[in-house]
């Protein structure tokens, strides 16, 4: 279980996260939705230990801090290593020595080609594959659907379902509400550094209407389209 209590982060006078409190239990998938600049990336970096100097607490029960799988929104790629070598490297970080990835290559990636020559979507698939193959207990996935084709998005939804069944704790963000409603047990609407709404599956349709109203309002009408 991951328990967050009164998590706050500031950059000078700007409050980025404002006393967030929630918990993610094993076998639960929590979705985070919010506009750009709402604090999603700062939240995720705090959860995985990249962000220091925050107030409040992030606790893992039991301590799984060394078994966190983090997928950044834009995964960095090391130059001049193949996709297969990339997977081998990230697995060695968890003490797993493995060379054969043919059976696990569900995205049909060209693993013998240099990973830094992959398209953005292919790099996202490679990074996600590496994180999943590590066998972590807790997953923090920042925009895993971004840049993926429709088939791959469906596969990611299936991956999230498998992680739930395996008893993993998962936090995932997406700008596409339908991907969260199809994948998550809970959805949190993050706005100005705080959760404006947090609901379970039975209220997903209600929170979608609220999010549309609060994020869009009458902005499009300002275009004056005739």
Q: What does pTM read for this prediction?
A: 0.90
- pLDDT score at 208: 82
How far is residue 178's CA from residue 107's CA, in Å, rounded to a whole number? 21
Whether 190 contacts 211, CB under 8 Å: no
Non-local CB neighbours of 48 within 8 Å, separated by 6+ positions: 68, 70, 140
How far is residue 44's CA from residue 143's CA, in Å, rounded to a whole number? 11
Q: What is the torsional sign of CA 180, 181, 182, 183?
A: positive
- pLDDT score at 221: 67
- pLDDT score at 191: 87
How far is residue 66's CA from residue 138's CA, in Å, rounded to a whole number? 10
- pLDDT score at 152: 95
- pLDDT score at 226: 73
- pLDDT score at 103: 93
- pLDDT score at 131: 96
Whether 188 contacts 198, CB under 8 Å: yes
* Angle, CA of 186, 150 and 72, to the nearest 5°: 55
CATH code of the domain made up of 2-223: 3.40.50.300
The residues that bridge with 32 in the sheet, in sequence order, are: 173, 188
Q: Are strands 2-11 and 55-60 parallel, antiparallel or unpaired?
A: antiparallel
Cα–Cα separations (whole angstroms), residue 70 to 45, 128, 135, 151, 173:
9, 9, 12, 22, 12
The residues that bridge with 187 in the sheet, in sequence order, are: 31, 199
How do the pLDDT tens digits run along the chain, 226 residues long?
889 999 999 888 888 999 999 999 999 999 999 888 888 999 999 998 888 778 898 988 766 666 899 999 999 998 999 999 999 999 998 899 998 999 999 999 999 999 999 999 999 999 999 999 999 999 999 999 998 999 999 999 999 999 999 999 999 998 888 899 999 999 999 988 899 889 999 988 888 887 777 766 656 666 677 7
């Amino acid at each position: 279980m991951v328990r967050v209590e009164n998590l706050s982060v500031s950059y000078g006078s700007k409050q980025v996260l404002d006393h967030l409190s929630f918990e993610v239990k094993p076998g639960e998938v929590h979705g985070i939705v919010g506009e750009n600049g709402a604090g999603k990336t700062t939240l995720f970096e705090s959860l995985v230990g990249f962000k220091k100097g925050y107030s409040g607490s992030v606790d893992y029960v039991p301590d799984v801090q060394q078994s966190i799988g983090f997928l950044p929104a834009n995964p960095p790629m090391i130059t001049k290593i193949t996709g297969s070598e990339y997977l081998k490297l990230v697995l060695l970080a968890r003490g797993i020595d493995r060379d054969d990835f043919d059976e696990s290559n569900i995205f049909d990636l060209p693993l013998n080609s240099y990973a830094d020559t992959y398209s953005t979507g292919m790099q996202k698939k490679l990074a996600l594959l590496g994180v999943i193959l590590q066998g972590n207990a807790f997953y923090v996935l920042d925009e895993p659907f971004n840049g993926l084709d429709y088939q791959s998005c469906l596969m990611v939804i299936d991956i999230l379902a498998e992680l739930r069944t395996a008893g993993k704790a998962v936090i995932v963000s997406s700008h596409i509400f339908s991907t969260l409603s199809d994948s998550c047990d809970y959805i949190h609407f993050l706005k100005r550094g705080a959760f404006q709404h947090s609901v379970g599956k039975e209220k997903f349709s209600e929170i979608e209407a609220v999010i549309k109203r609060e994020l869009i309002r009458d902005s499009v009408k300002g275009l004056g389209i005739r």
